[in-house]
């Protein structure tokens, strides 16, 4: 993963769930059409760009192909920006809660 001041860029595989970042699935019909076009070829990783100050939308760049803007249904009801820092903190809190409830 590479970082700039505002954006983070990483490589991800496109699956039937779309691209997954920080446990969030970003998907669209256009993304799945691109995946199906590439299916016969060796699966490639795409470049995903996300703003560190608002993870509700990502850009997915295909090598030699289009750049798609994707949102996640999981975050559709969020009217305010969600920073990566906030999301990771919430994820850790939920994971800690689940881990604490797991039988030893």
Interval 62-104: pLDDT, tens: 988 889 999 999 898 999 999 989 988 988 888 887 787 778 7
Question: For residue 27, what pLDDT is reported?
Answer: 96
pLDDT at 3 over 60: no
* Integer Cα distance of 27 and 71 in angstroms: 7
Q: What is the pLDDT of residues 25-39, one digit of tens each?
A: 999 999 999 988 876
Work out how many domains the chain is built from and give that number.
Answer: 1
Instruction: Report pTM.
Output: 0.81
Question: For residue 63, what pLDDT is reported?
Answer: 85
**21 Rama sector, left if φ>0, alpha if ψ -120 to 50, beta otherwise:** beta
Range of the domain at 14: 2-101
**73 Rama sector, left if φ>0, alpha if ψ -120 to 50, beta otherwise:** alpha
């Amino acid at each position: 993963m590479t970082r700039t001041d505002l954006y983070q860029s990483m490589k991800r595989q496109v699956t039937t769930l779309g691209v997954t970042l920080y446990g969030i699935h970003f998907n669209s019909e256009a993304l799945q059409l691109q995946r199906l076009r590439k299916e016969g070829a060796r699966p490639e990783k795409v470049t995903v760009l996300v703003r560190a100050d608002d993870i509700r939308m990502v850009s997915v760049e295909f090598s030699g192909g289009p750049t798609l803007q994707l949102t996640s249904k999981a975050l559709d009801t969020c009217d305010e920006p969600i920073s990566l820092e906030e999301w990771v903190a919430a994820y850790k809190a939920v994971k800690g809660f689940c881990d604490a409830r797991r039988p030893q």
